[in-house]
Amino acid sequence: MRRIGYIAAPDFHFMSLAALSVFEIANRTAPQRTYDVRLLSEAGGLLTSSIGMSIHTHHFDETKFDTLIVGGGLGIVEATPALVAFVQSAQTQTRRMASACSGAFVLAEAGLLDHRRATTHWLHAHELKRRYPKVSVQEDRIFINDGPVWTSGGGSAGVDLALGMVEQDLGDDIALTVAKKLVLYHRRAGGQSQHSTLLDLSPKSDRIQSAIAYARRNLNKPLSIGELAAVANLSPRQFSRAFHAETGQSPAKAIEKMRVEAAKLMLEQGRHPIETIADETGFADRERMRRAFLRTFGQPPQAIRRNARSG
């Protein structure tokens, strides 16, 4: 049995507890119960959230945990001396330490993030970097696993972090089944941006949503307007007009953004040659991909890869 300790701070955000559902569903999915989750706080007892509802918590004690997660709030979590001392003492006897959202400030104050890559909610990333210059803050990441220390962005990113932990513990099949049971539209890898192209598009109609989902699944294909229009059951002219009206951009521009986002993730993971990435993401050749990267990032793909490796 793996004991998960989740530290909640006063005025915690209820969304941060969503990650615990991943461990709950994993217990119901795996052949045997794997996780024992315990809510913790500095004083124990009832703890009130930012919306006014309360939860029961256990106070800090000598209990040993397999994984300890520091939760976040709507603002920066206060790293009290007792909280920092508890995290530091737990480090030597805990397999994994983690933070969700602004809980990263507690890990940083405890010194656990020194000379490690870490992320937090994009609203607080610059402040984390300013306060703790020894931390390699990567603000545009869903979650980061740097050895035994995990950190995630805000909101739903904690769910992605927890799924990553379940994958590490129980395998990809279990993690994928848990994601499906939670009705997640898309299971996000840690390297993805906190600002997704899909979120920016946010179409209103099912027809345009279906066309975008189809495009995302088939980025390695040419994806003509006629093909996407057929998925949406519209004529090419109707589709182009409806797409622009709902997303504020042309289908071609939106598809290029999705391709650039997918290619950037593959580059940062460093597993494939640039020619292969260009082919897999539908750019057809590396020169076309290079021009798209320059338009989007002001840098060629090689520079993106170098920056990822140096980080």
- Residues annotated as catalytic (active site), given as ranges: 101
By 3-state DSSP, what share of the chain in percent is helix, strand and coil, each rounded to 5?
50, 15, 35
Contacts of 179 (CB under 8 A, 6+ apart): 163, 187
In contact, 15 and 152? CB cutoff 8 Å: no
Neighbouring-strand partners of residue 7 = 40, 70
In contact, 239 and 225? CB cutoff 8 Å: yes
Q: 209: which DSSP letter?
A: H
**Residue 311 to residue 119: CA distance in whole angstroms:** 13
Residues 85-109: b if buried by 16+ CB within 10 A, e if exposed? ebbeebbeebebbbbbbbbbbbbbb
